[in-house]
């Protein structure tokens, strides 16, 4: 009996000895989660790969692959066929069906590569390849053999069950969530911050987001946009927690008490301090921002210095620091956050944006002014208390 499956190969994970089992079960859980609405699937563990089988036997690859593709820790996806009966006759037939379906008439060159984990199998890998190759050549006149530069490589793998596939779709790689500790990412709803979040999550950082909500200056739609970004990010990581901090009072207080041209710096400092508090509470070890040096006035090195000084020893990861806007946009498109980010409910108010913002703030000056903001700490504390946590994924 042959059955269509999707083989998911994992990469770097396999090398991380101790937590291997945990990461594998996490990958399995994320695959299951991402496929939740597509039907009922089994995820079977094989060496170096996870095999996704449909309970009903139906595999709609066009729908399934985009759902599994984003998951960090996977390096490639192979639509293929599984057979429990490993006799050479069956392997030949299964291979024929697979090839006929994918390449019914098209003239292509191919070679067969066989691998057997089951060393008791009566034929060697080479013999299996030769048998299958010969069987296909006899029956499909559109095929020719090319062992050096074939158009496609048909792989026959004998493991607990046998698998036949010919296509490997490369995926993002990366490490599964949590394999590198936890960090708090400042999500604005713009284009940059989801990309920065994605980049760190790719390295296995368990990211939680923080969003500063300022009604009536920002709308429910703007908040929903950030929630949708969190939902999208959860496709890569499995789960995504978003902390929504009410920030109107802090913003209005700063608007009233600091020079308007420096307002952005103070606002960002307040956000960083709040994010740091959340990091402490959630036992996270770093902050993540989408800063790209020189992109806007507060992202000059002077600006970044003045903002960064607001938080103590906690590392602030800025994976986009050296990227151009276009590179960031391209990446946002690739990971599917761009279309969400460009929905038009940005901060609907310009009162918090200076016409001529300070581009070279002096950290010492900023800190001197901030030391006079006697109510700020209490307001930040209050905002933190009123924060809500939304779990996506």
Partner 1 sequence: MIYFDNAATTQTSPAVAEKLADMLCNEFANPASVSKLGLLAEKEIRKSADCLSRGIHAKPEEIYFTSGGTEGDNWAVFGTAAGYHRRGKHLITTQTEHPAVKNPMKALEEQGYEVTWLGVDEKGYVDVEELKNAIRPDTILVSIILVNNETGIIQDVQKLGSIIKEKNSAILFHVDAVQAFGKYPIDVQKMKIDMLTMSGHKIHGPKGTGMLYMKNGLHVKPLLLGGGQQKGQRAGTENAPGAAALAMAAEACFQDMDKNAAHVLQIKKALQEGIFSSIEDVRVNGDSLEKASPYVLNMTFAGVRSEVLLHALEQEDIYVSAGSACDSKKKTGSAELTAMGYSFEEIEGTIRFSFSRYNTVEEAELCVEKLKKIVPFLRKYNR
Q: Which parts of this chain interact with partner 1 (CB under 8 A)?
A: 215-220, 252, 255-256, 260, 344, 346, 348-351
**CB of 220 vs partner 1, minimal distance in Å:** 8
- What's the half-sphere exposure (Cβ side, CA atoms, 13 Å) at 351? 12
Whole-angstrom distance, CA of residue 278 vs CA of residue 285: 11
Q: What share of the chain is helix, strand, coil (3-state, %, to 5)?
A: 40, 20, 35
Minimum distance, C-beta of residue 359 to partner 1, in the bound complex (Å): 20
Integer Cα distance of 85 and 93 in angstroms:
11
Q: Residue 155 in contact with residue 116, Cβ under 8 Å?
A: no
User: Quick one: which of 239, 236, 207, 213 has its CA closest to 226?
Assistant: 213
Q: How far is the CB of 371 from partner 1 (least distance, A)?
A: 24
50's enclosing H/E stretch is strand 49-54
Strand partners, 4: 81
What is the number of helices (H) and of strands (E) in the chain?
Answer: 13, 15
**Minimum CB separation from partner 1 for residue 346, in Å?**
7
Contacts of residue 251, Cβ cutoff 8 Å, sequence gap at least 6: 214, 217, 267, 352
Smallest distance from the beta carbon of 386 to partner 1, in angstroms? Answer: 14
Q: In terms of CB distance, is 94 or 270 closer to partner 1? A: 270
Least spacing, CB of residue 218 vs partner 1, in Å: 8
- By C-beta, is 263 or 279 nearer to partner 1? 263
Nearer to partner 1, 220 or 339 (CB): 220
Nearer to partner 1, 23 or 253 (CB): 253
């Amino acid at each position: 009996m042959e059955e269509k499956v999707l083989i998911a190969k994992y990469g770097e994970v396999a090398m991380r000895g101790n937590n291997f089992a945990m990461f594998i079960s996490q990958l399995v859980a994320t695959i299951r989660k991402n496929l939740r609405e597509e039907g009922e699937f089994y995820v079977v563990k094989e060496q170096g790969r996870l095999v996704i089988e449909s309970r009903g036997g139906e595999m709609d690859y066009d729908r399934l692959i985009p759902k599994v593709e984003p998951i960090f820790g996977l390096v490639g996806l192979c639509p293929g066929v599984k057979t429990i009966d490993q006799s050479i006759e069956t392997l030949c037939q299964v291979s024929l069906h697979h090839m006929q379906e994918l390449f019914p008439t098209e003239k292509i060159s191919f070679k067969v590569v066989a691998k057997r984990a089951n060393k008791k199998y009566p034929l060697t890998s080479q013999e299996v390849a030769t048998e299958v190759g010969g069987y296909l050549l006899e029956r499909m006149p559109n095929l020719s053999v090319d062992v050096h530069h074939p158009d496609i490589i048909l792989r026959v793998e004998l493991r607990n069950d046998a698998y036949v596939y010919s296509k490997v779709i490369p995926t993002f790689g990366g490490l599964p969530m949590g394999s590198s500790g936890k960090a708090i990412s400042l999500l604005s709803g713009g284009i940059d911050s989801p990309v920065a979040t994605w980049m760190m999550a790719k390295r296995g950082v368990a990211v939680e987001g923080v969003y500063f909500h300022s009604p009536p200056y920002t709308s429910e739609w703007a908040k929903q946009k950030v929630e949708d970004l969190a939902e999208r990010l959860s496709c890569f990581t499995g789960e995504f927690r978003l902390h929504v901090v009410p920030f109107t009072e802090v913003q209005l207080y700063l608007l009233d008490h600091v020079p308007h041209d420096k307002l952005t710096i103070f606002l960002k400092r307040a956000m960083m301090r709040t994010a740091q508090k959340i990091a402490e509470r959630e036992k996270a070890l770093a902050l993540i921002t989408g800063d790209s040096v020189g992109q806007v006035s507060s992202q000059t090195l002077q600006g970044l210095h003045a903002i960064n000084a607001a938080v103590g020893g906690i590392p602030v990861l800025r994976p986009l620091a050296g990227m151009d806007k276009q590179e960031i946009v391209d990446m946002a498109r690739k990971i599917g956050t761009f279309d969400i980010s460009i929905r038009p409910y940005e901060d609907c108010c310009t009162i918090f944006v200076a016409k001529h913002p300070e581009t070279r703030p002096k950290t010492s000056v900023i800190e001197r002014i901030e030391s006079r903001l006697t109510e700020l700490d209490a307001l930040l504390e209050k905002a933190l208390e009123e924060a809500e946590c939304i779990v996506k994924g």
